[in-house]
Amino acid sequence: MSQTIARRYARAVFELGRENGSLGALVGEFSRFAEAYAASEELRELDHLPSLTDATRRAVLADLGKRLGASEVAVNTLSLLADRQRLSLLPDVAALLLEMSDEHEGVVRATIRSAKQLTPAYVNRLVERIRATTGKKVLITTEVDPALIAGVVAQIGDRVIDGTIRGRLDRLSASLRQN
C-alpha cells in the first residue's frame, strides 16, 4: 500500500519536473533529502511528534531545503508529505523518482561485483555488452567483494547474472540433485 502511495507522489513530481525541464535537478534534490532523512533521527521523528504544528514542520523542511539548495517544488512536496504524516515515504519516493527518470532518459543502472578490482578495459566491455543487450545508456557501479572466488555478479535493474565460480558450482550442484 505504501509503495502505491509513494509511486503517486513520485509520478506527480516526475510530471512537474518533466513539464518545467527540471527533472534531473529534482531527482538530485529528492536524493539529498532522502539521505538527510536516513541520517537524521530528528527528521524521521517529525511525523510522530503530536506537539509539532504543520507550520513548524513546514518551517523545518523549508530550512532543510534552503541548506540543501532545493527547489520550491521539492520543498512543497516534502511539506505536503509532512502535512499528511507520510514523510516516511520519502526514501521510496526518491527511489521511484530516480527509476522513472532513468526510464524516461533511456538509462539502465548496473552494479558489477567482483573478487578484485576490474580493469577499465574490462568494465568498458561489460558496458558495451549491457548497452547492446538493453539498447539503453548504461551507468555502471563496480564493487569489490572478496567473498567471491572468481568471476563477476552483474545486477541490472532487478535482474542478477551470476558469472562467478561459486554460482556455476551452485547451478551444477542443483542440476545434479534434480537428476
Q: Where are the domains of the chain?
A: 2-103, 106-178
Cβ-contact 145, 115 below 8 angstroms? yes
Q: What is the DSSP letter of 117?
A: P
pLDDT, tens digit, for every residue of 43-64? 788 777 777 777 888 888 888 8
Residues 6+ apart with CB under 8 A from 139: 107, 108, 109, 110
Looking at the DSSP bridge assignments, the partners of residue 144 are: 114
Domain 2-103: CATH architecture, name and number where available:
Orthogonal Bundle (1.10)
pLDDT value for 167: 63
10-24, 54-68, 154-168 — which is least confidently predicted?
154-168
E-state strands within 116-158: 137-144, 152-156
Tell me what pLDDT residue 165 has. 64
**pTM for this one?**
0.72
Decide: 108 and 157 in contact? Cβ < 8 Å: yes
pLDDT band at 166 (very low <50, low <70, confident <90, very high): low
CA distances from 32 to 1, 28, 107, 152, 177 (A): 24, 6, 20, 30, 48
Residue 13: Cβ-neighbour burial (10 angstroms; 0-12, 13-18, 19+): buried
What amino acid is encoded at 164 in this protein?
T
Name residue 64's amino acid: L
Does the pLDDT of residue 36 top 70, yes or no? yes
Confidence (pLDDT) at 170:
67
The Cβ of residue 104 has, within 10 Å, a number of other Cβ atoms equal to 12
Measure the CA–CA gap between 32 and 43, rounded to whole angstroms: 13
